[in-house]
Structure 1
Amino acid sequence: MSARRAALLRLAALTASLAVLLVLFNLGGVLDAQRIRSWVDEVGIAAPAAYIVVSGILGAALVPGAVLAATAGLLFGAATGALLSLAAAVVTAVLARGASARAGGDALDVVSGERMRAITSFARRHGFSAVVIQRLLPAVPDGPFSHAFGLAGVRTRDVALGTLVASGPRGFSYALLGANADDLTGPHALFAIGLNIATGALGLILAWLVVRRERARAGTAV
């Protein structure tokens, strides 16, 4: 078997596995905030630590981050829930990055064309910035991209720090929504929605600036 074919098979197997998880947890309705809450509630005073572990593992398995952060808000309130969901997001990012890096190895490099090589090269050179921008972008799920960062060879440190810096505002907004789930038209819930929108707008602006800079750089190089 050629190296390229072996790499394609490894990527196909990883992609299929992640796609199954994505459909199962995002469309299948297998888990919801109340079920996760019941698991964490059972451990009593160790609930905060249990939440970080359970949420970190579930996030790496592509359970939606919004559900996990809202669960933290339901369990611990907005402020504490936001801090715990941020810690869990870092755990998720590191686990997902490590799993896909090990499963994929150098397969992405073997099969990539020129454009994909340019993208992965940028992600490796500017790993922290790439993670921060992705975490801020609206409607872009973190879990699949954490796996993608692993395939691209982005350093664990960059993935962890980028997540720590950029996931806080969105995590707080979801935790605040979870803590105020009984009044989604109240001031706290509306603030959370506004924060989510503002975070997404910032992500779009930063992404536009980076694309503009990279295009200018490419034009200068030519």
Structure 2
Amino acid sequence: MTDNDDLATDRRWRHGARLAVYAAFLLGMFYLVAVARVIDIDAVRAAIEATGPAAPLVYVAVSALLGAALVPGPILAGGSGLLFGPLLGTFVTLGATVGTATLCAFLGRRAGRRSARGMLGAERAERIDAQIARRGLWAVVGQRFIPGAPDALASYTFGAFGVPLWQMAVGAFIGSAPRAFVYTALGASIGDLSAPLAYTAITVWCVVAIIGAFAAHRGIRSWRRRDRDTESTQA
């Protein structure tokens, strides 16, 4: 093994260690917020409600920060519906969702971009960059349709792989609109889940989940096929 090989291996180890620390931090945040529940969402909601006419804007800002801290999005969207109703609440939820996506992508880009490229290697990183340039926006939109996919963690990952912030913002707005309505409407209907609004929200959620699962399957197959074709061409 040459000195250059030793240097490349050492760099890979350093990049891997940085990504491991980054992943451990996110997992730790997820445990503290989603499992240990160190943030009292009810207290936050009450404090925002007390701000009066500015409450929607305050909720957008605070909810965006809490989403970046891995507070589950459905809880925040449900709180928006409870406070502001299904119409205004949906727009508040969308604003917070876009804010969370942009913030997470920015932090992911700052913390993990260089290490992610180092681990992938220059050739594979360039291929991924080319895919992002062509389909990054729709990858963000598609991820938002996948049932059960944690949006904040996905946004951190998109940022680490270099998805531009404008694509994160636009993709989050487009892809999150159906689920924003669903969770906000359910929050607004919390006192009567047999209301037509609740049934409508559940129906929309089922349709989005089916479309998302189908699109994810097609997208993964297409990505793998293009990757194999590129490797065979370069061989």
CA spacing shift, 1:151–1:220, aligned 2, 3 Å: closer
Alignment of 1:66 with 2:61, yes or no, is no
| TM-score normalised to structure 2 length | 0.86
Q: In structure 2, how many angstroms separate the alpha carbons of the residues matched to 1:77 and 1:99? A: 32
CA spacing shift, 1:12–1:91, aligned 2, 3 Å: same
CA-based RMSD: 2.3
1:18 is displaced (CA, Å) by 0.7
1:141 is displaced (CA, Å) by 1.1
Number of equivalences:
222
1:203 partner amino acid? G
1:124 is displaced (CA, Å) by 4.8
**Identical columns (%):** 36
| SS of corresponding position for 1:126 | helix
User: Contact 2:178–2:208 at 8 Å: present in 1 too?
Assistant: yes
| Aligned match for 2:153, one of 137, 144, 156 | 144
Listed one character per residue, the Cα deviations across residues 13-33 of structure 1 (whole Å, up to 9, x for unaligned) are 211111011112222233455
- Of structures 1 and 2, the larger Rg is shown by 2
Alignment of 1:21 with 2:29, yes or no, is yes
Q: Which has the higher mean CA deviation after the structures are superposed, 20-29 or 45-54?
A: 20-29
Alignment correspondent of 1:34: 42
Q: In structure 2, how many angstroms separate the alpha carbons of the residues matched to 1:168 and 1:32? A: 26
Alignment of 1:169 with 2:169, yes or no, is no
Alignment of 1:181 with 2:229, yes or no, is no
User: Contact 1:59–1:143 at 8 Å: present in 2 too?
Assistant: yes
Alignment correspondent of 2:163: 154
Alignment of 1:1-222 (within 5 A): 2-31=10-39, 33-112=41-120, 117=125, 122-217=131-226, 222=232
- Please list every run of 5 or more consecutive structure 1 residues that lacks an aligned counterpart in the other structure: none
1:97 partner amino acid? A
Q: Which runs of 4+ in 1 moved over 6 A?
A: none
CA spacing shift, 1:152–1:216, aligned 2, 3 Å: closer
Q: In structure 2, how many angstroms separate the alpha carbons of the residues matched to 1:48 and 1:42? A: 11
